[in-house]
Structure 1
Amino acid sequence: MPEPGSKDYDKQRARRRKEAERSGVPDRHANEEANESLQQDPRRRSSGPRTERGRGPKGERPEGG
């Protein structure tokens, strides 16, 4: 699933924004509504860091990780 900040996420947000505009949501609120709906979707939650570097400095990582 696309994650916030990815190109696929931005495409989905744009589609949802257009749908909101077509259903009568004012232009200035359509983007906020699209963003909120994507962020509340459990399938679009971040999966966390994918690399060792993404987990942070070795001395600051939690035990067992």
Structure 2
Amino acid sequence: MPEPGSKKYDIHRAHKRKDAESQGVPDRHANRKANEDLQRDPHWRSRGPRTDRGRGPESERPGTE
């Protein structure tokens, strides 16, 4: 599943941006609209950290005392 920042995500964002521009969305807002559309789709949403290390320093992780 592609995530924000990946090449596949960026390609889809560019296509969505072009579609938004062709529908009359101003250029300066088209990128934001494309990102919002992709973020609403669960297929493109980030899954969060995959490892304990991705959750941050051990002393600052939620649920650890």
- Does the TM-score normalized on the shorter chain lie above 0.5? yes
Point out where structure 2 has 5 or more consecutive residues left out of the alignment.
Answer: none
**Structure 2 residue aligned with 1:56:** 56
**Structure 2 residue aligned with 1:11:** 11
Alignment length (residue pairs): 64
Quote the offset at 1:58 in angstroms.
2.5
Whole-Å separation in 1 of the counterparts to 2:10 and 2:49 = 20
Point out where structure 1 has 5 or more consecutive residues left out of the alignment.
Answer: none
Structure 2 letter corresponding to 1:24: G
Whole-Å separation in 2 of the counterparts to 1:61 and 1:25 = 41
The within-5 A match list for 1:13-52 is 13-52=13-52
Structure 1 letter corresponding to 2:13: R
What's the TM-score, normalizing by structure 1?
0.75
Structure 2 letter corresponding to 1:51: T
Whole-Å separation in 2 of the counterparts to 1:27 and 1:56 = 37
Q: Percent identity?
A: 69
Whole-Å separation in 2 of the counterparts to 1:52 and 1:9 = 25
